[in-house]
Amino acid sequence: MYFQLTDGVELHIIKTSQFKSNQIVVNFGTPQTSANTTARSLLGDLLETSTHKYPTQTALARQLSQLYGADVGTGVGRIGTLHSVRLKARFINDRYSYDGLLDNVIDLIHEMLFNPLIDNESFDEPTFNLQRANLRSAIQSLDDDKQYYAETQLRKLYFDDDSIMQIPSFGRLADLDQLNAENLVPVYRQMITSDRINIVVLGDVDERHVVDRFKEFNFTPRPVADHDMMYHQDARPDVTQKDEIQAINQSKLNLAYQLPVYFNEPDYYAAVVMNGILGGTPLSKLFVNVREKESLAYYASSRYHSFSGMLSIQTGIQNTNYERARVLIGQQVEAVKAGEFTAELLREVKDSLINQFQASLDVAGNIAERQLISTLLDRPADDVVQKIEDVTATQVMHVASLLELQAIYYLNGDLTK
Amino acid sequence: MNEHHYAKYDETIYDQKLDNGLLVQVLPKRNFHKTYAILTVDFGSIDRTFIPVNGQELITVPDGVAHFLEHKMFEKIDHDAFDLFGELGADSNAFTSFTQTSYLFSTTQHVHESLDVLLDFVEQPYFSSQTVQKEKGIIGQEIKMYDDDPNWRLYFGMLGNLYPHDPMHIDIAGTVESIDQITADTLYSTYDSFYQPANMNLFIVGNVDPAETMEWIADNQKQKHFDQVTIPEVQFELNDETGQDVIPFRTLEMDVTRPKVMVGVRGLEPISAGQAGLKYRLGVELLLDILFDDTVDNYLRLYNNGIIDDSFSYNFEMQRGFHFAYFSSDTDHIERFADEIIGILESAQQQIEAAASQFNNIKRAVLGRMIALLDSPEAIANRYAGKLFGATNLLDEITVLESITIEDLYVIAREFIQSQGISVYQIVPRHSN
């Protein structure tokens, strides 16, 4: 069921009895800028920490316990060029708890969104300081995960210097010092009054009742500007490479290719299948030839980023195997471009992708996410199974021919350093 | 086929022990697309000393054999089981723990064929010296990758403190040196000893008809011959039951941004088997919640003082032969963290009393989260712990949870938390030269 609460605020209700728990997602979306990213990330943390009615974390946590361990929290993310602050709630159905649990969760969502701990145009100072310190530590600690670190370094090389894609959705350390308990208040107001809001409610619920409850939120109308969620950048003629040495056991070799095929384009499914053949599934060329046949790596995979027109390859290797891995990876890409894959592999990759898609329909969060993306892009959800089935070997070769190597990042793990 | 209906949660579980001893359980979810099946062998990384089925003498196999077997099971003389699943459009995987090895698949099509592939590849071994040699490279990379992961190092560092002379402190995958000693013969003798139907269970959740599924499996098993052999008694004995060997404190320097610290508690009392064991596990988990979860005052005090942050977590693990709890956080105050956590643990009786008003609330939250797990086929099947908890499933767990009272927690705290079993492990940033 679809219901427009006001201009720019939409509600979808997916009624299903498949699950014992319900799911509510409230997505706040706005074009990402260098100024708004870190502020919105910290704002998300503050909104899930306390409210006027529940002024400490403990008070809020106790309320969640009362609600049968409901999981209600915020997170930030990026949907293409759109920055999203998302409140998600997962809680069991009234049937397995008590009549009115759903209502109480909606009350809590209202409290968290409309009654944050702001007094005299300032967030509660101690809470603000603590959350800012915690966000700082969390960002700093990310570098300890070497796989993640290598992926970040690759993105830095791939994207243009002034691109907003350089800024992760959770923000940057450098911005944190400029934020304070006062200047975050307008960021909050802006989000509540101007962001595009999409709400998805999924579960065994009374649809009319849910609509009535969200009407009571009295969202103000806001214009929805035409915004291209797809990120574009021109291909560079040269490959950028960066090598770094760290005293770790396993080396990481990551590559970034431009793949100018986007989520909302006809070739999208061909690109998905191509990625499945190259490195996106355990049947893939990278997995079989780099990991299995030559035992060169513990992991070797590719990932297709359909909102930014990019394909990345990531491997974990021993530094003595660098040259061999580099050659083998290049050969796998060339092989897919040349159509060197069997009809059998094409069939199996399609079956595997179809299986993954159908299995995703058993996870409430995935169904809600699909609805959200389809609404944001204003296009009906595809018949995914048919679209994957329809992809031909020629189409796979065609999209593979668009791959253009742009960046290589090598983290040389050398324990003698 | 036995039927167990859980009216309160609209679920039914069917089970049957086949003639060859394989226990099969099916939980149908007819409105799901997916079927998930997991075949578990009661054999894991710590089971390294035993008398093999065809021998007389006690042997000790190299560390990492269970995990090595898991990797090698997929490969056959002329094909790879992984590819067979691929041809069927099914996803497959496997994992090894301290006491179990599991093989699984998930699929939305060809369930019958996928079940045959699963049973066939686990029940028909093929190892050769050549393929064993090649696998050493792959597993060697896997071990190295984990060596760079500070959270993994923290966890195994703690296990090294709690069980310094027992196999739990060794990486499940073994070490580069230990796996180098593995041969095809090692794999065969270990396989023959433990991979017997009576030492396995198969749990299936998803869009299946239980009677039909049982028939498929029975048919598959009838076509195979298994020698009637006794499963060897694993000679696992703790080096020191009293816990005098627990190392109270160690530090590791590593390339990390912030210090990490973990407090561990080794349980020193033997645990009853079956349902009583399950009740103990759920009881300890509730005890940890009442002492440390975010609804109690301890948590807020530590959080607001910057001693813990959102990285704080705690866990209780109970497996065949041992059990322990651990608490960890990234923090700039590692000594204070350890002092505070240990202080709360050692005054557990007063702490429970102080937080008593939260007990029902906490229990209700745990109950709600368990009910939510019923939406996940993986969670239902993976949580099944076989003989350890008397063949109880997630739905039985809910019933046991409901029976636990706050009085139980006082008793459990007295048994579980003993100063002799407490230890601290920390990782501090390496000073650059």
How distant is the Cα of A107 from the closest Cα of chain B, in angstroms?
Answer: 18
- Over residues B124-142, the mean pLDDT reads 89
Q: Which residue has the tokens 């079927």?
A: B35
Do B2-222 and B249-429 fold alike per CATH? yes
| Beta-carbon separation of B91 and A57 below 8 A | no
Q: Which residue has the tokens 């349902």?
A: B275
How distant is the Cα of A300 from the closest Cα of chain B, in angstroms?
Answer: 12
Gap between the Cα atoms of B235 and A144, Å rounded: 39
Gap between the Cα atoms of A49 and A54, Å rounded: 9
Please report residues of B whose CB lies closer than 8 A to that of A362.
32-34, 377
C-alpha dist (Å) from residue A267 to A79, A126, A252, B176: 19, 51, 31, 45
How distant is the Cα of A281 from the closest Cα of chain B, in angstroms?
Answer: 9
Is B255 an 8 Å CB contact of chain A? yes
Residues 6+ apart with CB under 8 A from B50: B58, B59, B193, B232, B233, B234, B235
Q: Percent of chain B beyond pLDDT 90?
A: 84
- Which of A404, A87, A42, A82 lies closest to A234, judged by CA? A404
Gap between the Cα atoms of A118 and A132, Å rounded: 16
CA dihedral A224, A225, A228, A231 (to 10 degrees): -100
Kind of pairing between the strands at A310-317 and A251-258: antiparallel
Is A64 an 8 Å CB contact of chain B? yes
Gap between the Cα atoms of A254 and A33, Å rounded: 27
Angle between helices B297-304 and A125-141 (to 10 degrees): 80
Domain B249-429: which CATH number of 2.40.30.10, 3.30.70.2860, 3.60.150.10, 3.30.830.10:
3.30.830.10
Is B429 an 8 Å CB contact of chain A? no
* Chains A–B, number of C-beta pairs less than 8 Å apart: 172
Which DSSP letter does residue B233 get? P
Is A3 an 8 Å CB contact of chain B? no
pLDDT tens readout for residues B204-246: 999 999 999 999 999 999 999 888 778 887 767 899 999 999 9
Angle at A27 between CA A24 and CA A29, to 5 degrees: 175
Task: Identify whether the C-beta of residue A261 lies closer than 8 Å to the C-beta of residue A268.
Answer: yes
| Beta-carbon separation of B361 and A69 below 8 A | no
* Better pLDDT: B142 or B128: B128
Going from N- to C-terminal start, the domains of chain B cover: 2-222, 249-429
Q: Which residue has the tokens 């190295």?
A: B144
User: Does pLDDT of A293 surpass 80?
Assistant: no
Distance of CA B15 to the CA centre of its chain: 22
User: Does pLDDT of A198 surpass 90?
Assistant: yes
- Which of A316, A24, A174, A37 lies closest to B146, judged by CA? A316
Gap between the Cα atoms of B361 and A58, Å rounded: 13
User: Does pLDDT of A314 surpass 60?
Assistant: yes
Gap between the Cα atoms of B77 and A212, Å rounded: 64
A68-72, A371-375, B1-5, B142-146: the lowest-pLDDT one? B142-146
- Over residues B51-57, the mean pLDDT reads 87
Helix (H) or strand (E) holding A289: none
Q: Tell me, which fold does domain B2-222 have in CATH?
A: Cytochrome Bc1 Complex; Chain A, domain 1 (3.30.830)
Report whether CATH 3.40.50.510 matches the domain A240-413. no
Residue A351: count of CB within 10 angstroms of its CB: 22
- Over residues A187-200, the mean pLDDT reads 98
Reported as a pLDDT band with limits 50, 70 and 90, residue A91 is very high
Is B150 an 8 Å CB contact of chain A? yes
| Beta-carbon separation of B91 and A90 below 8 A | no
Radius of gyration of chain A, Cα coordinates, nearest whole angstrom: 23
| Beta-carbon separation of A130 and B86 below 8 A | no
State the ipTM, two decimals.
0.91
Which DSSP letter does residue B57 get? S
Q: Percent of chain B beyond pLDDT 70?
A: 99
- Max mean pLDDT among A24-28, A144-148, A284-288 falls in A24-28
Question: Which chain B residue has its CA at the smallest distance from A21's CA?
Answer: B372
Q: What is the pLDDT of residue A249?
A: 86
Of B90, B310, B369, which is closest to A138 when you measure between CB atoms?
A: B310
User: Does pLDDT of B432 surpass 60?
Assistant: no
Is A144 an 8 Å CB contact of chain B? yes
- Over residues B291-319, the mean pLDDT reads 95
Question: Which chain A residue has its CA at the smallest distance from B93's CA?
Answer: A282
| Beta-carbon separation of B141 and A298 below 8 A | yes
Is B110 an 8 Å CB contact of chain A? no
Mean pLDDT of the residues in chain B: 94
pLDDT tens readout for residues A169-180: 999 999 999 999
DSSP string, A237-266: SS-EEEEEEES-SSEEEEEEEE----TTST
pLDDT tens readout for residues B370-382: 999 999 999 999 9
Q: What is the pLDDT of residue A144?
A: 87
Task: Identify whether the C-beta of residue A349 lies closer than 8 Å to the C-beta of residue A290.
Answer: no
Q: Which of A149, A290, A354, A355 to mutate to test the interface with B (most CBs of B within 10 A)?
A: A355
DSSP string, A1-38: -EEEEETTEEEEEEE-SS-SEEEEEEEEEEE--TTTHH
Gap between the Cα atoms of B74 and A94, Å rounded: 45
User: Does pLDDT of A24 surpass 60?
Assistant: yes
Q: What is the pLDDT of residue A415?
A: 80
Of B295, B369, B371, which is closest to A58 when you measure between CB atoms?
A: B295
How distant is the Cα of A283 from the closest Cα of chain B, in angstroms?
Answer: 7
Is B295 an 8 Å CB contact of chain A? yes
Q: What is the pLDDT of residue A243?
A: 96
Q: What is the pLDDT of residue A3?
A: 95
Interfacial B residues in 180-219 facing A (CB < 8 Å): none
Q: What is the pLDDT of residue B254?
A: 92
Task: Identify whether the C-beta of residue B70 lies closer than 8 Å to the C-beta of residue B95.
Answer: yes
User: Does pLDDT of B431 surpass 80?
Assistant: no
Which structure tokens are listed for A379? Answer: 């296009």
Interfacial A residues in 324-353 facing B (CB < 8 Å): 344, 348, 351-352
Q: What is the pLDDT of residue B433?
A: 42
Is A66 an 8 Å CB contact of chain B? yes
Q: Is A92 exposed, middle or buried (0-12, 13-18, 19+ CB in 10 A)?
A: buried
Helix (H) or strand (E) holding B390: none
Gap between the Cα atoms of A402 and A400, Å rounded: 5
Amino acid in the structure at residue B281: R
Residues A216-239: b if buried by 16+ CB within 10 A, e if exposed: ebebeebeeeeeebbbebeeeeee
Which structure tokens are listed for B168? Answer: 């739990």
Going from N- to C-terminal start, the domains of chain A cover: 2-215, 240-413
pLDDT tens readout for residues A230-275: 999 999 999 999 999 998 888 999 999 999 999 989 999 999 999 9
- Over residues A265-287, the mean pLDDT reads 95
User: Does pLDDT of B338 surpass 70?
Assistant: yes
User: Does pLDDT of A218 surpass 60?
Assistant: yes
Which structure tokens are listed for B307? Answer: 């001693």
Residues B64-74: b if buried by 16+ CB within 10 A, e if exposed: bbbbbbbbbbb
| Beta-carbon separation of B365 and A358 below 8 A | no
Please report residues of B whose CB lies closer than 8 A to that of A363.
376
- Which of B203, B172, B202 lies closest to B67, judged by CA? B172
Q: What is the pLDDT of residue B56?
A: 87
How distant is the Cα of B9 from the closest Cα of chain A, in angstroms?
Answer: 7
Of A17, A141, A248, which is closest to B148 when you measure between CB atoms?
A: A248
Do A2-215 and A240-413 fold alike per CATH? yes
CATH number of the domain at A2-215, please?
3.30.830.10
Question: Which chain A residue has its CA at the smallest distance from B30's CA?
Answer: A18
Interfacial B residues in 348-367 facing A (CB < 8 Å): 358, 361-362, 364-367
Which DSSP letter does residue A65 get? H
Q: What is the pLDDT of residue B235?
A: 66
Which DSSP letter does residue B203 get? E
| Beta-carbon separation of B108 and A358 below 8 A | yes
Write B381-384 long-range contacts (CB < 8 A, 24+).
Answer: B381/B27, B381/B36, B381/B37, B381/B38, B381/B104, B381/B203, B381/B204, B381/B205, B382/B38, B382/B102, B384/B25, B384/B40, B384/B201, B384/B203
Which structure tokens are listed for A304? Answer: 């297709």
Is A248 an 8 Å CB contact of chain B? yes
Residues B90-122: b if buried by 16+ CB within 10 A, e if exposed: bbbebebbbbbbbbbbbbbbbbbbbbbbbbebb
Q: What is the pLDDT of residue A362?
A: 97
| Beta-carbon separation of B255 and A248 below 8 A | yes
| Beta-carbon separation of B145 and A17 below 8 A | no
Active site residue B135: no
Reported as a pLDDT band with limits 50, 70 and 90, residue B391 is confident
